[in-house]
Structure 1
Amino acid sequence: MKRYALLLCGGKSTRMGSDKGLIIYKGKPMVQHAIDHLQSKDFEILLLTGNPAYARFSLPMRADEIPNLGPIGALYTGMLHTQSELLCVLACDMPDSDPSIFSHLLEHLGDADAIVPSFEGRMQPLMGLYRRSLLPQVEAQIAAKNYRMQDFCSSIDCSIIDLTEHPEFGQAANFHNVNSPKDLAQS
């Protein structure tokens, strides 16, 4: 069975001032780091973006079915356009994340509908595993006009695994979001 990763590249990048995924980070576009990490673990990748500039990465792309909903809209779109029962979700602005985290999450998923890591007390819903069977709950969340992924995770059977003290994954770099020019300069 194919393993699908939904790579979220469609944010507004308001703080950055330009499309985050295309900004050069450590010598290549930020999204390329995530692509390389996911491909190293044999994920089929769907880029969730409406920006035609991402076509240069030669991967399937989809614009959000319902624009301007943020990550919940991207999850909805990904669920509609993949057949895999389990979807890996990763934001393109986490270029130093270790893709082995997803294997670790899978080991701990059990019967839960989703699993996301937490780090230093903060849930990381844009680095998680979600069952495609959650589509009706995603639709209900959208219908309720509640687009927060944290709220969605709280409303479903979502396991949260704290990786803060985990020797292999508990480094801040795994969960660092590059959201602004200041973040980029500090990375």
Structure 2
Amino acid sequence: MNGQSKVPPLYGLLLTGGASRRMQQDKAALAYRGEPQLLRAWRLLQAVTERAFVSARDTQRDDPLRAGLPLILDRYEAIGPAAGILSAQDEYPEAAWLVLACDLPLLDTATLQLLVTRRDPAVAATAFASSHDGLPEPLCAIWEPASHGLLRQRYESGSYCPRKALMQSSARLLPTPGAALDNVNTPEEREAMQHRLETLA
């Protein structure tokens, strides 16, 4: 097997650098079933990747919840999730990245394992289709090294939306995993999610 046909290693990246403006508090620190969502999502990533990292802003490096975990700090200013993805790709350009948002309380190992099993290293990314609109879900997706050029090009042109980058790329789109990717952005959505989790317990 030559170097060109070798499958890139799969690393995990948990995105926690958002400002959480709609939630009005750090979404990664919110507890579901008695545990901060950051730690729960971190364990899920560790279970399916070779190495896992937490993406954060420089001002979060000393936060007690994050400080004990391997961090990749954003090198790009205030451009949303693309800052974390690009920073990770800059740090380890040889790796593919399973990128995960920190606000998915229903996500489970089986869903991530399905994503990893169905991964296609020959395309720019592998992603699930959204249950809401059928478009690619960029924040529970595997971004191959080949996606870096497009993300960087879009960044330099002022376009920061990872979903639109997936739509422009040669992404493999998997069927939606149902409610597993339902996210939580507001206090009202958090309360509703807590009720859902109680009924599932």
The reply to whether TM is greater than 0.5 is yes
Q: Which residue number in structure 2 is paired with residue 77 of structure 1?
A: 87
User: Which structure 1 residue ranges, 4+ long, deviate > 6 Å from structure 2?
Assistant: none
Once the two structures are superposed, residues 97-135 of structure 1 have per-residue CA deviations (whole angstroms, 9 ceiling, x without a partner) of: 123333322333332110110132243110000112322
Aligned positions of 1:1-187 closer than 5 A: 3-50=10-57, 51=60, 52-53=62-63, 56=66, 58-82=68-92, 84-110=94-120, 111-120=122-131, 121-163=134-176, 170-172=177-179, 174-187=180-193
Where in structure 1 are there 5+ consecutive unaligned residues? 164-169
In structure 2, the residue matched to 1:166 is none
Contact 1:70–1:147 (CA under 8 A) maintained in structure 2: yes
**Residue 161 of structure 1 aligns to which amino acid in structure 2?**
L
Amino acid at match of 2:32: Y
TM-score by length of 2: 0.81
Q: Is the 8 A contact 1:33 1:96 kept in 2?
A: no
Query: Which structure has the larger Rg?
Result: 2
Which range is displaced more, 14-23 or 47-56? 47-56
Against the structure 1 CA distance between its residues 27 and 138, is the aligned structure 2 distance closer, same or farther, given a 3 Å change threshold? Answer: same
Paired letter, 1:77: S
Aligned-pair CA distance for 1:41: 2.9
In 2, are the aligned partners of 1:4 and 1:82 still within 8 Å (CA)?
A: no
Q: What's the CA shift for 1:57?
A: 5.6
Change (3 A) 1:28 1:151: same
The CA deviation string for residues 142-171 of structure 1, in whole angstroms up to 9 with x for no partner, is 0111111111001211111112xxxxxx33
Q: CA deviation at 1:29?
A: 1.0
Name the TM-score, length of structure 1 as normaliser. Answer: 0.87
> Does the 8 A contact of 1:113 with 1:131 survive in 2?
yes
Query: Structure 1's 85 and 23: CA in aligned 2 closer, same or farther, altered over 3 A?
Result: same
Q: Specify whether residues 43 and 18 from structure 1 end up closer, same or farther in structure 2 by C-alpha distance, changes over 3 A only.
A: farther
Instruction: Tell me if structure 2 keeps the 8 A contact 1:8–1:49.
Output: yes
The corresponding residue for 1:167 is none
Partner Cα separation in structure 2 for residue 6 and residue 26 of structure 1: 23
Aligned residues: 180
Q: Superposition RMSD on alpha carbons, in Å?
A: 2.0
What SS does the aligned partner of 1:89 have?
A: strand
